[in-house]
Structure 1
């Protein structure tokens, strides 16, 4: 069951990503030669309208390939009018950007399903821990937190995100009480039993029913939360605040899916489905962000070269761009092997 759920979740987010490339390519008159879900040997495939559609063995990726995309297939004959290099630079930019953008659109649709059924949570304090900074600063249950270190807070989980990322750092908290704005500065206190720094919040979150027009607003807040969590996690990784065990590849994700499924099963199949949709939401945002990083072989790396072309008025020589992307692809494969090995070793640990 875990494998089935893993395949379904990855299939949905990969199709959403590649569909973005595909649709914008069609709009811009670019010929799509291959649209595949998965990697490795083909399991199923067919041709229609000059495009080969295929389902491949390993459900950990996908591709939407355009005619002449790498700029190096001139030995195969004269490229047609619909070849990727023949499109305008802005048409190519929009086609490449559409993949990650569609991941955010997909995440918003998934968020609407989740909050439509489960509602959301306003960042309202439920209680305080005696002797900790929040209580000592005069905060009270019922206070609505609106900002932390200047960052707007919309849902309760953002309180956890900010305190986790900024562990031990002084925080400026802005909150509303009876409609009046207050500001306090809190320095977290280390808790030996918990093994972490605490501000002294003893629970937070006030249920919001989203079976009304509020679904649109709170669905945006859900996607925003996932986006901020992904970006802040990357920041922690760059700053050395995260370890290799905080990174997961497909095997680690599958393990999380299995654990969540086991915990949700006693509450019924619909709770399992909603949790899987929530995981797909986070992964879709994660895929969108990661693909926009300006790294070779990713959509963000291709966008860098296209933006340079738009500024210079002429493209970077295709052989040079191809070498950069190939080098980036090799590095990504090495990273994938490392993450997979780490996932397996962590599983046995």
Structure 2
């Protein structure tokens, strides 16, 4: 029975992975397809997956098919052949016959569609489920901030702002941001008593108030030390290396200070005290070595924000996600962050984990993955969309296309780069999810 259960779990994980990948590949290729058709370019094939073909049918001038190799897809347009294949004939419906601007639009449409899809999904998630709230109104003033000078201290719980009751962090932030030019009066719980804190106007600097999150775990990242010691959603961390913790920031600070060192961790689960030794993974953040164990804070609920606010937050989420991805890529070799790269195994685990958590989390995962796909495809690497856009830009500047030899060499270089990345992410996946567990068996 354990073998059967493991086999079923594996198939379910693969199923969620194929759903996620299939949706995003379809969206990406649909962008290329629609713009090519709009531009009068003949589309010969629309394929989910790479050859050999599994099933398909022809409709009009296009063959639509699903192929056996699931890691991607492609749209084959007339005249856009790989080096060594049959060249274009000069027909008006062929890709090379169109202007540089039209060709750039066809190439850019794939990544753009990924960004638009992510935006739409974020809007649906925020509009239908609202904005996650941590449920905390316990605060801490930043050093030398307006709030600290006014008398706010760490651990104060905000009950009211200007006489209006505050129930969660979202309401607190919204109230503080409402009119910083007028200041605010906070009613806080401190110990057994209540007191009022008068905050002066702080338009330029802000009040300098941080919200302290509880140490309740919302999710555990797959393949991390936290998963290895059995931490679960809903567990409450109570101590790190013998030091009691009451806020997420305190806990994170203690764990961050001990990268790659064994530390004692204590937590509660359904009122039962549990302990374990854990070794935080070493990461580099802003040129500093830190330890992480792979846990995220617990969301206490959600706030209905309306569809208009959901639309603006959807745009912000796409922008923020794109920025963080580019920042990560920029620091891969400088800070040895290549160890954090993940491939198909990690994506499959995350697809399964988020699907088990609920539709909201799976959709949010799809949106983030779609942004990843859009950003990565725009990198100026030959064979990727970004590489094609780079050559088209050069063609527009030089007023001539690259030679066959130049295309051939660039594609070979691009393939080597892509192969190197695939090997690296696959090794990271195997190291986290396979080699690590094999090593544990022999300990």
Normalising TM by the smaller chain, what interval? 0.7 to 0.9
Specify which of 99, 105, 124 is matched with residue 94 of structure 1.
105
Specify which of 256, 280, 290 is matched with residue 195 of structure 1.
256
Contact 1:126–1:204 (8 Å) recurs in 2? no
What is the aligned partner in structure 1 of residue 202 from structure 2? 180
Residue aligned with 2:138, SS:
coil
Specify which of 14, 19, 29 is matched with residue 18 of structure 1.
29
Unmatched segments (≥5 aa) in structure 2:
1-11, 159-168, 171-178, 185-200, 210-248, 258-289, 292-296, 437-443
Q: CA offset at residue 29 of structure 1?
A: 1.3
Structure 1 residues 317 and 204: alpha-carbon distance in aligned structure 2, compared to 1, 3 A threshold:
same
Contact 1:71–1:318 (8 Å) recurs in 2? no
Specify which of 129, 141, 147 is matched with residue 118 of structure 1.
129
TM-score (norm 1): 0.75
Specify which of 345, 359, 363 is matched with residue 251 of structure 1.
345
What is the aligned partner in structure 2 of residue 161 from structure 1? none
Q: CA offset at residue 312 of structure 1?
A: 1.5
Q: Map residues 1-349 of structure 1 onto 2, 5 A cutoff.
A: 1-70=12-81, 72=83, 75=86, 78-120=89-131, 126-128=137-139, 134=142, 137=145, 138=147, 176=180, 178=184, 180-181=202-203, 182=205, 193-196=254-257, 208-244=303-339, 246-262=340-356, 264=357, 272-348=358-434, 349=436
Q: Radius of gyration: which is bigger? A: 2
Q: Deviations over 1:125-173 (max 9, x none)?
A: 84345xxx8256445677xxxxxxxxxxxx99xxxxxxxxxxxxxxxxx
Q: Using the alignment, how far apart are the partners of 2:250 and 2:122 within structure 1? A: 35
Contact 2:45–2:77 (8 Å) recurs in 1? yes
Structure 1 residues 205 and 225: alpha-carbon distance in aligned structure 2, compared to 1, 3 A threshold:
farther
Q: CA offset at residue 341 of structure 1?
A: 2.9
Q: Using the alignment, how far apart are the partners of 2:369 and 2:252 within structure 1? A: 32
Structure 1 residues 258 and 212: alpha-carbon distance in aligned structure 2, compared to 1, 3 A threshold:
closer
Pick 1 or 2: higher relative contact order, CA cutoff 8 A, min separation 6: 1
Structure 1 residues 206 and 311: alpha-carbon distance in aligned structure 2, compared to 1, 3 A threshold:
farther
Q: Using the alignment, how far apart are the partners of 2:41 and 2:136 within structure 1? A: 53
Structure 1 residues 252 and 54: alpha-carbon distance in aligned structure 2, compared to 1, 3 A threshold:
same
Contact 1:249–1:340 (8 Å) recurs in 2? yes
Q: CA offset at residue 291 of structure 1?
A: 0.6
Residue aligned with 1:61, SS:
strand
Q: Using the alignment, how far apart are the partners of 1:276 and 1:226 within structure 2? A: 16
Q: CA offset at residue 4 of structure 1?
A: 1.6
Unmatched segments (≥5 aa) in structure 1:
143-154, 157-174, 265-271
Q: Deviations over 1:105-129 (max 9, x none)?
A: 0001111121012222699984345
Contact 1:127–1:203 (8 Å) recurs in 2? no
Q: Using the alignment, how far apart are the partners of 1:18 and 1:98 within structure 2? A: 8
Contact 1:249–1:343 (8 Å) recurs in 2? yes
TM-score (norm 2): 0.60
Aligned residues: 303
Structure 1 residues 323 and 101: alpha-carbon distance in aligned structure 2, compared to 1, 3 A threshold:
same
Q: Deviations over 1:63-92 (max 9, x none)?
A: 112222137567567343211111111110
Q: Using the alignment, how far apart are the partners of 2:359 and 2:45 within structure 1? A: 32
Q: CA offset at residue 342 of structure 1?
A: 2.4
Q: Using the alignment, how far apart are the partners of 1:281 and 1:192 within structure 2? A: 30
